[in-house]
A and B are shown apart, each in its own frame.
Chain A
Amino acid sequence: MTNAEIHEFLEKAIGENNVMLFMKGTPEEPRCGFSLRTSGALNELDVRYAALDVLPDPRIREELSAISGWPTIPQLFIDGELVGGCDIVMEMYETGELAEKLGVEMPEGKEPAAPEVELPAQSGPIPLENRLD
């Protein structure tokens, strides 16, 4: 796949999925604490969303950031618009703004169930994704 093809694929994914999450790993097996929290918030709200793992090819992330102007992963798009990364999504989850934007009810009496970000005990200068297969 060429970069142009990846770019086109990503634009199509953003355009065709009302709720599109780009993350490290999958909702079942997140590979980064920030992606875990963000997909966790969507799971709590019980909305259908599409998720794409950016880890298999570094060019996915490069092309995605070129489209969104946002440097980090995860990135959540709703109706084709970038909503934010982990911080913004969690803030919006907590205020109920995310539920409202998605047109769902905030689960009653629920605190954000996604755990605090677990940071690697030993973090060197190598970006995490480079340590993964």
Chain B
Amino acid sequence: MPSADQLKERIEAALPGAVVRVEDLTGGGDHFRAEVVSGRFDGLSRIEQHQLVYGVFGDEVGGAIHALSIKTSTPGES
């Protein structure tokens, strides 16, 4: 079962320089919330920003990771 720290590390590895905060909402390892601040989001639509983060986990979202709630912003916005 994934942990919030593992998710954080994987997002950070995929988006170098990103500031990432991941919370396990239930403590059950399947409902997470991730807040990601990254320069990579510059110029992307919200959909594309979220897809970048979902893309880190592929099929695991909806599977082992039942729910991943995402909030994205760029360094300028936050």
- Partner-B contacts on A (CB < 8 A): 34, 61, 65, 69-73, 82-88, 91, 119-120, 122-125, 127-128
Q: Mark B61-78, 1 if CB is under 8 A from A, else 0.
A: 111101111110000000
Interface residues of B in 53-67 (CB under 8 A from A): 54, 59, 61-64, 66-67
Which chain B residues lie closer than 8 Å to A69 at the CB level? 51
How many A-B contacts are there with CB distance less than 8 Å? 54
17 of the cross-chain contacts (CB-CB < 8 Å) are: A69-B51, A70-B51, A71-B59, A71-B61, A72-B61, A82-B47, A87-B69, A87-B71, A88-B47, A122-B28, A123-B26, A123-B30, A123-B66, A124-B30, A125-B1, A125-B30, A127-B66
Interface majority SS (helix, strand, loop, mixed), chain B: mixed
Interface membership of B31, Cβ < 8 A: yes
Q: Are A127 and B63 closer than 8 Å at their CB atoms?
A: yes
**Alpha-carbon gap, A70 to B51, bound state (A):** 7
Interface membership of B46, Cβ < 8 A: yes
Interface membership of B44, Cβ < 8 A: no
Chain A's nearest CB lies how many Å from the CB of B61? 4
Interface membership of B29, Cβ < 8 A: yes
When C-beta atoms are compared, the residue in chain A nearest to B69 turns out to be A87
Interface membership of B25, Cβ < 8 A: yes
**Alpha-carbon gap, A88 to B53, bound state (A):** 14
Known: A71-B62, A122-B28. A84 touches B50 (CB 8 A): yes
- Given contacts A72-B68, A84-B50, list 13 more A-B pairs with CB under 8 A: A61-B62, A70-B47, A70-B54, A71-B59, A83-B47, A84-B46, A87-B50, A88-B50, A122-B28, A123-B28, A125-B1, A125-B29, A127-B62
Which chain A residues lie closer than 8 Å to B70 at the CB level? 87
**Alpha-carbon gap, A11 to B11, bound state (A):** 32
Which chain B residues lie closer than 8 Å to A84 at the CB level? 46-47, 50
**B31 in complex: contacting residue of A61, A88, A123, CB < 8 Å:** A123
Q: Are B31 and A119 closer than 8 Å at their CB atoms?
A: yes
